[in-house]
Structure 1
Amino acid sequence: MATHAGYGAQTTATEVAAAFADSVKGKNIVVTGISPASIGYTTVMALAGQAPASLVLASRTQAKLDAVAADIRNAHPDVQVHLVRLDLADVASVRAAAAAVADTLDRVDVLINNAGISTPERLAAKTPNGTEVDGQFLTNHLGVFLWTALLLPLLRAAAATSSEDNNGTARIVNLTSQGHHLSPVRFSDYAFRRDVYDVPDDEKPRAQVPAFFLRTKDGYPGFLGYGQSKTANILHATELARRLQRSSHKGDARIAAFSVHPGTIETELSRSLDQEGQETIAKTAPHGLWKTQDQGAATTLVAALDPKLGAADVAGGATLGYLSDCQLRDDMVAAHAQGADTAKRLWEETEKLLAFTVDL
């Protein structure tokens, strides 16, 4: 359980950062998916207020990076802000961005994988080994997996300088969603080229998925594609945590990995939905309440900063390390995102798709 038992849906990132100021001060923090009026924005603004050593903002669009950086520098001129162009759908961009971070920092204390996409349009993509995959899977999972692996040496540098009793000094946080309930990982059809139900039973959408989420556009079920990628974010975090605990590298056992559900937040995507879509999405908000951007970033910062959470919490696999409304909530994870065998399979398949082996 998080340090503050009273934290919940209404808690803000600003409050969390202030409460855990000692976990921010002097730290190097990398955050992806930065743009104005987003939870990435409120995440970095909350962190900037607590004197980090450096903030690295990594995102695809330079103009958005510049706008957020200007706001940080105006409000907190003493904070070192570094900008990195990162397109998670482009392996070369991921590698270049990771190299740029390594050229800038000697360690990364906190990595927040906030970036992601959600689209009803089919984004056809191929992996380095030539496999066709859904573009949402490429961006939201494969790109995040590679980015995290490439930054692992810097996370190790942070963990190696920590004291033995510091519980999970280095943190990795994957933003996922309760949207993961929509779809398991379709190991037999990553690209969603088959009919929604023309896959093995354990890869089909669950029976209770509302019809709206099964809609297709030109044969592509965009919401299911999103759900698959969000399931992958959880499985990635849990398998990463387990492998770090078993690793022979010094300090790896003090690197913690979590996945978080930020809550139901109004975004450009939700505002563009038709009436049925608006009503369906609204039903996913507990008690019909939508979070503000500041509230939506709070759970991320609990996972990233709370000293009472650490690597040991997910070491044995009994705890998945999934947070919602600022608390550990493994009970909210769908069965298809829980299995250790499934997580291991996804890890191994991901390495094959990327033609890349993680040093773990």
Structure 2
Amino acid sequence: MEGGAEFSLESEAEGSARLRLSGPYLISTIGEIDQNLDAIGDSISAIDLSQVSEIDTVGAWVICRLSRQHSAQVVGASERAQRLIDAVGASSSEAEIRPPRLPLWERASERMGLWVQDGAQSLVGVVGFLGQILIASFSLLRHPRRFRGRALVRQAELVGVDALPIIGLMSFLIGIVIAQQGAVQLAQFGAESLTVNLVGRITLRELGVLMTAIMVAGRSGSAFAAQIGTMKLTEEVDAMRTIGISPVEALVIPRVLACTFMMILLGFYSSVVAIIGGAVVGDLLLGIPFWNFLERIKDVVPTYDLWVGLIKAPVFGLIVGLAGCYHGMKVRGNSEEVGLRTTMAVVSAIFAVIVLDAFFAVFFTEIGWG
């Protein structure tokens, strides 16, 4: 090709050949003949560069590669070409690209140790973050004018009011599923009427609050982490510190308070809607009139079941809010970290909520609220 890199083979004695290169050997020209050079199968004794007009680092690297493959001597190189070839050749290494793979038991032990270390560091970080929130809360109590009431109202709207449709739909469907599946199983014992007890107790005590907490973690906890994490990347958090505004007071406390208080209302709302869903199934499939179903709820569900749900709700809301804000404040480096921390916020919040729910189940059973 005119103006491009070219090569030719010239036979010599004893079955060897001389590879003669010509033209510019640059990154912009060498790509068209690189595969042809690799395909050369003859024994090359020398690589002649006397007709190479220009050369760069890529060209020098290709020549060094050919020289090593064929144990050929480079001849006819200009002073600049020789300097590049010597520099590239000196930087080459025969070391393994990948390190040797350790045995399984060593890799498993190492990975487990890293998990334990990361868990301990995360625990220390969460405790320190909670301490920052407590210090900021006491500071707001001393200076109540600094409290951002509008931010609290806005976050309460986002966490609570805007979540009513999706949580209502989810709870209604859960109530339908519990009533339908419960009735099918209880029918084997002729106890379909106990479906009212099943729906009322399991929604008020467990599933209403638990499913709401999971939904809030996926909806609001992730939003907290993404919002604060983005502000960290754009240095808005650092700018707030520079002008004397505490990011914990301005960003974290309103979100945590909104999530904590709105979880009480959302949990109760979820339980009520789930009971209504169960009442619909009772009216359509079990022959229990809708209003009779709701009336019987008051008789068969103990009052302490309602209190169990209302006690767990703010604790779950606090956990979700803390997880979202903590991981948002931990964002560093680049935008990929925002997605990673958002995922970690949701996963850690849901995990903590389920663990605490198991603890509450044992605790309330021990005190006679089982």
TM-score, normalised to structure 2, is: 0.26
Q: Going by fraction, where is strand more abundant, 1 or 2?
A: 1
Q: Going by fraction, where is helix more abundant, 1 or 2?
A: 2
Structure having the higher Rg: 2
TM-score, normalised to structure 1, is: 0.27
